[in-house]
Structure 1
Amino acid sequence: MSIKELIKQELDYLSEEDLQEFYQVIKSRSQREVNNKNNNDELGDLLEKCQVSTGITDLAEQHDHYLYGTPKRGN
């Protein structure tokens, strides 16, 4: 039996008040998922707009070297 079927069976045993609470939990979770997706899209867009081409291929791995002049770390 699928989880949806199991949930549907249990719904018959809930009071109207419990059903309302259950609905609010489901609704808030789905809204949170939509908001997270939108936030992730916005963050990705912002990161893409802020990209800078430095020509340095190991900048992320060797940022201390480029920022502070420390010796490069071994790979």
Structure 2
Amino acid sequence: MSIKELIKQELDYLSEEDLQEFYQFLKSRSQREIKNDELGDLLEKCKVSTGITDLAEQHDHYLYGIPKQTN
């Protein structure tokens, strides 16, 4: 039996209040995923290819000219 079928079976046993709460939970999850997708799309559009593979770790070196950090 699929997870959808199992959930559908359980819905018959929930009170109206519990169904409303479950519905709100599902709506909030799907809206959050849409927002995450939109943010990911925006970040993808804004990224700049610098060719520098250690920019995040060595940003002080590239911004201010200090020696690279070795860890």
What TM-score, normalized to structure 2?
Answer: 0.73
Give per-residue Cα distances to partners, 1:24-59, cap 9 Å, x unaligned: 110111111101110111011001100101121110
The number of aligned residues is 64
The residue that corresponds to 2:68 in the other structure is 72
4+ long deviations beyond 3 Å: none
SS at match of 2:51: coil
The residue that corresponds to 1:27 in the other structure is 23
The residue that corresponds to 1:60 in the other structure is 56
State yes or no: 1:44 paired with 2:11.
no
What TM-score, normalized to structure 1?
Answer: 0.69
Instruction: Give the superposed CA RMSD.
Output: 2.3
Q: Which runs of 5+ in 1 are unaligned?
A: none
Q: Which runs of 5+ in 2 are unaligned?
A: 1-5
Q: Which has the larger radius of gyration?
A: 1
